[in-house]
Amino acid sequence: MAKIVGGITTSHIPAIGKAIAEKDFESHYWKAFFDSYPPVREWLDEVKPDVAVVIYNDHGLNFFLNAMPTFAIGAAQEYRNEDEGWGIPEIPPFPGDPKLSWHIIESLMAEEFDLTTCQEMKVDHGFTVPMQLMWPERRSPEVRTIPVCVNTVQHPVPSPKRCYDMGKAMGRAIRSYGEDVKVVIIGTGGLSHQLEGERAGFLNQEFDEYCMEKIVEDPVALLDYSIPDLVRLAGSQGVELVLWLMMRGALSDKVNLLHKKYTIPISNTAAGLLLLENLD
């Protein structure tokens, strides 16, 4: 049977992709940030997940404001990246796992989560930057990927509770898959940030630290926030916290915190890194 081995949260911002492309790992600005990733890579090297479910939001590459699904999932053989205009080189396609994708889709639909299913899907920085941070060397055979895309861009955005509940259903779906595969769940984005308007540059360290603590021990404490609460407390793009909550929902109630780092500021955001071992 499939096993969920752990969950990871990470920032996904394009500036990281640019720093990677320029190998700018040691400068004063980036050193502390990049130095926080080796423990996560060592764990991945040791545990060797076969599949990564990557929960992110598309920022306008595959979906745009003309047609914005609340929840979309990839069911393709591979996922291509394209130029988004951030000055990051395009990176080679990522392999998919359509059989596991369809199993998750069928299980989630049976639990009344109505998804947009994508047999073609371009993946933007929300997906590619976390993949580059986790697996900087793309050795063969590569980890197979399942992109799960949540609308955090155009309101109404799904609530923390809805995303956590879908994560729970996704966890049940993966655990009921008959093949012996190890799966890691990656929740991307966050933490507090706002890119536009009067509050552009808004950060809230106190709230971020509260979220990083609660998401490990007591994620249910975060489920009563509404989306307007999150906009107020974490900024308009801080609602990406729902992506972390979906990841957390897929794990066991008790998890083992293996690594934690908070770096502020990184571009306009606070970057939170967590590595959680699943205790199933």
Catalytic residue numbers?
A: 125, 193
From the CB of 198, what's the least distance to ligand DHB, in Å?
A: 17
Task: Write each residue from 175 to 204 as x if it is in contact with Fe ion (CB under 5 A), else as -, in one continuous string.
Answer: --------------x---------------
Task: Write each residue from 98 to 137 as x if it is in contact with ligand DHB (CB under 6 A), else as -, in one continuous string.
Answer: ----------------------------------------
Q: Is 272 in the site for ligand DHB (CB under 6 A)?
A: no
In the list 269, 270, 272, 274, the residue contacting ligand DHB (rule: CB under 6 A) is 269
> Could you say which of Fe ion, ligand DHB, none residue 268 binds, taking C-beta under 5 to 8 angstroms by partner kind?
ligand DHB
Which residues have a Cβ under 8 Å from the Cβ of 41 and sit 6 or more positions away?
Answer: 134, 135, 136
CA–CA separation, 163 and 126 (whole Å): 17
Number of residues that bind ligand DHB (CB under 6 A): 11
Q: Which helix (H) or strand (E) holds 214?
A: helix 205-217
Q: Which CB sits closer to Fe ion, 165 or 240?
A: 240
Q: Which CB sits closer to Fe ion, 171 or 189?
A: 189
Q: Is 59 in the site for ligand DHB (CB under 6 A)?
A: yes
From the CB of 113, what's the least distance to ligand DHB, in Å?
A: 24
List, in sequence order, every beta strand (DSSP E) within the chain.
Answer: 3-10, 51-56, 71-74, 78-79, 94-95, 116-118, 144-150, 182-188, 255-266, 269-278
For residue 47, which of 273, 260, 256, 272 has the smallest C-alpha distance?
256
In a 13 Å sphere around the CA of 94, the CA atoms on its Cβ side amount to 32
Supply φ then ψ for residue 181, to 5 degrees.
Answer: -120, 145
Structure tokens at 102: 């369809």
